[in-house]
């Protein structure tokens, strides 16, 4: 999870763009928008950047025939619908198209996503209960024959509602985790996917056809061409639901990666100390306290340059 979630200010600016260009703007909406612009210097700057990148495509849409224009400019549609609509009619330039395919773009376009430091708990249409870790993105595909969640980034825990006629599957680039009446965790990593069974059982499989059934307390990592069964109990990895990061003898690099979705700005770790071993329980909702705790127990120092840059270097 090295890529950071889209800045909430950017998301707010996109929301305002959709509302203001819907053709249904009253004085109250205009006043609210002006208050948002004045609330922080970064708001106006972000708004100007967005206008320079998306303003012209939106203006083209406004001049298009009503059959095309109305579906794209309805204020009730989500950002995902609007931006995908622009992509569909070829109105996004090459740079924006590439941005839409980036991690941040996938987060923006996802059906469900969380920002920096944000966790979400929600109930899906079938009654299943879904928890999203910070910096996560999920697409939903529920039909008469299946219930499919595509985890684009981050991590989730799902308590699956019983429905014998529709299997429940969480899919990533590496493969599938199919619920067999269960509660389980799925976590995207750089080149793999971790699956941890919290209750009952799960069947994991690869596109090649390889599969493995996991029972409660068991876990595995899905790689491109193999399934790696993990011997140790990994259920502690769901502790983020309680705002805690539990670490049992892992490299410092993995700990910093887990903190990134909970911290704004850039967090840089010196390669010399990335393999230092760490164990302990750290607060996710106070990343400064977590970093201070690491500095107290390991030979490293934390250098902060405002809210935008934090360097973690060897001590001495």
The structural architecture, per CATH, of the domain 120-236 is Sandwich (2.60)
Q: List, for residues 238-248, the tens digit of each pLDDT value.
A: 999 999 999 99
Better-scored residue on pLDDT, 202 or 267: 202
Six-digit token pair at 121?
Answer: 């708990």
User: What pLDDT is attached to residue 171?
Assistant: 96
Q: List, for residues 194-224, the tens digit of each pLDDT value.
A: 999 999 999 999 999 999 999 999 999 999 9
**What's the whole-number mean pLDDT along residues 32-51?**
81
Residue 20's region, left for phi above 0, alpha for psi from -120 to 50, else beta, is: alpha
Distances (CA, A) of 200 to 136, 217, 293: 25, 9, 36
CA proximity to 202, closest of 230, 174, 175, 182: 182
Residue 307 has pLDDT above 60, yes or no: yes
Q: List, for residues 87-129, the tens digit of each pLDDT value.
A: 444 444 444 444 444 555 555 567 888 988 999 999 999 999 9
Cβ atoms within 10 Å, residue 310: 22
CA proximity to 82, closest of 69, 92, 72: 72
User: What pLDDT is attached to residue 306?
Assistant: 78
The pTM for the full model equals 0.69
- 243-314: what CATH class? alpha beta
Residue 84 has pLDDT above 80, yes or no: no
User: What pLDDT is attached to residue 89?
Assistant: 42
DSSP string computed for 165-182? TS-EEEE-SS-EEEESS-
Listed by start position, the domains of the chain span 8-109, 120-236, 243-314
């Amino acid at each position: 999870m090295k890529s950071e979630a889209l800045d909430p200010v950017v998301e707010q600016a996109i929301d305002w763009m959709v509302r203001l260009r819907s053709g249904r703007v009253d004085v109250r909406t205009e006043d609210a928008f002006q208050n948002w612009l004045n609330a922080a210097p970064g708001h106006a700057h972000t708004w100007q950047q967005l206008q320079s990148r998306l303003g012209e495509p939106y203006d083209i849409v406004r001049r298009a025939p009503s059959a095309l224009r109305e579906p794209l400019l309805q204020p009730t549609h989500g950002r995902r619908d609007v931006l995908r609509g622009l992509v569909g009619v070829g109105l996004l330039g090459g740079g924006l198209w590439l941005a839409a395919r980036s991690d941040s773009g996938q987060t923006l376009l996802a059906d469900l996503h969380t920002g920096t430091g944000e966790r979400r708990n929600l109930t899906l249409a079938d009654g299943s209960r879904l928890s999203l870790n910070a910096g996560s993105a999920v697409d939903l595909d529920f039909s008469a024959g299946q219930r499919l969640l595509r985890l684009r980034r981050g991590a989730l825990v799902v308590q699956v509602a019983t429905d014998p006629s529709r299997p429940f599957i969480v899919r990533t680039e590496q493969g599938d985790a199919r619920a067999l009446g269960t509660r389980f965790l799925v976590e995207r990593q750089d080149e793999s996917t971790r699956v941890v069974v919290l209750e009952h059982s799960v069947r994991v499989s690869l596109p090649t056809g390889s599969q493995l059934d996991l029972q409660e307390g068991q876990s595995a990592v899905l790689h491109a061409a193999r399934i790696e069964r993990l011997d140790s109990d990994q259920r502690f990895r769901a502790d983020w639901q309680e705002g805690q990061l539990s670490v049992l003898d892992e490299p410092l690099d993995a700990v910093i990666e887990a903190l990134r979705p909970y911290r704004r700005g850039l967090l840089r770790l010196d390669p010399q100390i990335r393999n230092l071993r760490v164990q302990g329980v750290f607060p996710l909702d106070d990343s400064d306290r977590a970093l201070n705790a690491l500095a107290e127990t390991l030979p490293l120092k934390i250098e902060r340059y405002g809210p935008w840059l934090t360097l973690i270097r060897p001590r001495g």
